[in-house]
């Protein structure tokens, strides 16, 4: 059977991740928040050139001030932002109804764009900050395509007062929870990760679909709800309707605010890498400028500010955080090196069949 994950052991340490991001409108705005006009002024001498960036719209103030504004000043650029969730924004590219140059997407959706010929390759020589990025993040969807600019991790959060013993392993989801567990829905970002985790718990080194679904059926009676939005998880945890379940580390602070004794653990078999990528859209007239922007997003300056603001976990190995700054952030060679990475091409090739099977056999 095809192995759908790889352990990120090889790291480059030379001398920058809930379905992540909220769904917003598809309106285009400049980086300072004003409505954008057309690119008609680009030909005028000294006029700033437009760079259209497609993104989720979370932490907008941070991105405007720390990411967009310095780049605009340095390159005489006006950044125009198109906002929406992954599916909405990728569909606009498919339909040709957008003039996007740079697109932020989760690895799952970026792989779809690559499969459909919507994503261009990049000239890595134009992105020198790649040399300072963890190997797992350099080209997560294949050589030549855009990097992951942040890596989160999916582990297990739990309320110690409501489970049987200490949680250390994915296997503990099957034994420590008694009708007070939540799992991600198959259509959520972490859904395919749970299919892989179930295969691992069944004792497989290589992925085994039949055994994975057998384990998922076995755990189903303990599941209160299969969540699609992280807010559902947080609400249930706060009300003690659930004792816990798999969740991205970046949201753990919301759980701990409600339950101070809550714990987050990276399972012994490995937490899952949750990667958000930044890519160049095929057909752009601003490819070199787009590559310069990707290089800026990977810079130590941006990566460090993002990490300290708890906006994104850093992939630049030059970023140094103290203990307090690293809380809730996927940080450090030892942490990143233990992550499990799904093969998103394999996931995309199989997700429809898995979803159909999930709906028939699990019903969540």
pLDDT confidence of residue 44: 40
Residue 363 has pLDDT above 90, yes or no: no
CATH (domain of 124): 3.40.190.10
Q: Tens of pLDDT along 16-69?
A: 333 343 334 444 556 655 444 444 444 445 889 999 999 998 899 999 999 999
pLDDT confidence of residue 46: 82
Identify whether the C-beta of residue 228 lies closer than 8 Å to the C-beta of residue 252.
no
Q: Where does the pLDDT of residue 361 fall: very low under 50, low under 70, confident under 90, or very high at 90 and above? A: very high
174 and 123 assigned to the same domain: no
124 and 164 assigned to the same domain: no
105 and 212 assigned to the same domain: no
Domain that residue 322 falls in: 12-151+275-329
Is residue 4 one of the residues assigned to a domain? no
Is residue 39 one of the residues assigned to a domain? yes
How far apart are alpha carbons 130 and 135 in whole angstroms? 9
250 and 178 assigned to the same domain: yes
Is residue 92 one of the residues assigned to a domain? yes
Is residue 337 one of the residues assigned to a domain? no
pLDDT confidence of residue 43: 42
122 and 59 assigned to the same domain: yes
137 and 171 assigned to the same domain: no
pLDDT confidence of residue 364: 61
353 and 205 assigned to the same domain: yes
pLDDT confidence of residue 4: 54
48 and 147 assigned to the same domain: yes
Q: Where does the pLDDT of residue 11 fall: very low under 50, low under 70, confident under 90, or very high at 90 and above? A: very low
Is residue 82 one of the residues assigned to a domain? yes
Q: Cα–chain-centroid distance for residue 350? A: 20
Kindly report the pTM of this predicted structure.
0.83
Q: Tens of pLDDT along 237-295?
A: 999 999 999 999 989 999 999 999 999 999 999 999 999 999 999 999 999 999 999 99
Number of domains in the chain: 2
181 and 265 assigned to the same domain: yes
How far apart are alpha carbons 346 and 307 in whole angstroms? 31
Is residue 105 one of the residues assigned to a domain? yes
For helices 344-361 and 209-219, give the axis angle rounded to 10 degrees: 50
160 and 250 assigned to the same domain: yes
Is residue 308 one of the residues assigned to a domain? yes
255 and 357 assigned to the same domain: yes
Best CA proximity match to 104, nearest among 124, 84, 132 = 84
Is residue 338 one of the residues assigned to a domain? no
Averaged pLDDT score across all residues of the chain: 89
Enumerate the H helices of the chain as residue ranges: 60-62, 69-75, 86-95, 107-115, 135-138, 191-201, 209-219, 230-238, 252-258, 287-297, 300-308, 323-326, 333-336, 344-361
241 and 129 assigned to the same domain: no
How far apart are alpha carbons 151 and 5 in whole angstroms? 15
């Amino acid at each position: 059977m095809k192995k759908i994950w790889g352990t990120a052991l090889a790291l480059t340490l030379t001398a920058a991740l809930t379905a992540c991001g909220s769904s917003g409108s598809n309106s285009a705005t400049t980086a300072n928040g004003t409505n954008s006009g057309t690119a008609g002024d680009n030909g005028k001498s000294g006029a700033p050139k437009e760079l259209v960036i497609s993104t989720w719209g979370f932490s907008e103030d941070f991105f405007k001030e720390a990411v967009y504004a310095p780049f605009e000043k340095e390159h005489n650029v006006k950044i125009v932002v198109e906002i929406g969730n992954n599916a909405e924004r990728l569909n606009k590219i498919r339909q040709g109804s957008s003039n996007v140059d740079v697109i932020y997407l989760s690895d799952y959706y970026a792989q779809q764009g690559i499969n459909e010929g919507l994503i261009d390759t990049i000239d890595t020589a134009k992105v020198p900050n790649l040399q300072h990025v963890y190997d797992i993040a350099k080209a997560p969807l294949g050589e030549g395509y855009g990097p992951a600019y942040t890596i989160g991790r999916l582990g297990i959060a739990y309320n110690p007062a409501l489970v049987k013993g200490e949680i250390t392993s994915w296997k503990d989801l099957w034994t420590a929870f008694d009708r007070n567990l939540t799992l991600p829905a198959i259509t959520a970002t972490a859904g395919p990760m749970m299919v892989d985790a179930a295969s691992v718990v069944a004792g497989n080194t290589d992925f085994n679909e039949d055994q994975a679904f057998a384990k998922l059926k076995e755990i189903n009676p303990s599941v209160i709800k299969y969540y699609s939005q992280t807010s559902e998880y947080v609400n249930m945890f706060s009300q003690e309707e659930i004792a816990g379940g798999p969740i991205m580390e970046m949201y753990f602070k919301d759980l701990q605010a409600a339950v101070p004794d809550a714990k987050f653990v990276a399972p012994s078999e490995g937490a899952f890498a949750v990667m958000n990528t930044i890519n160049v859209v095929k057909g752009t007239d601003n490819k070199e400028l787009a590559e310069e922007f990707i290089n800026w997003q990977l810079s130590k300056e941006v990566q460090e500010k993002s990490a300290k603001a708890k906006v994104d976990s850093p992939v630049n190995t030059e970023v140094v955080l103290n203990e307090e700054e690293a809380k809730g952030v996927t940080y450090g060679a030892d942490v990143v090196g233990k992550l499990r990475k799904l093969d998103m091409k394999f996931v995309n090739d199989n997700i429809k069949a898995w979803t159909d099977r999930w709906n028939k056999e699990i019903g969540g």
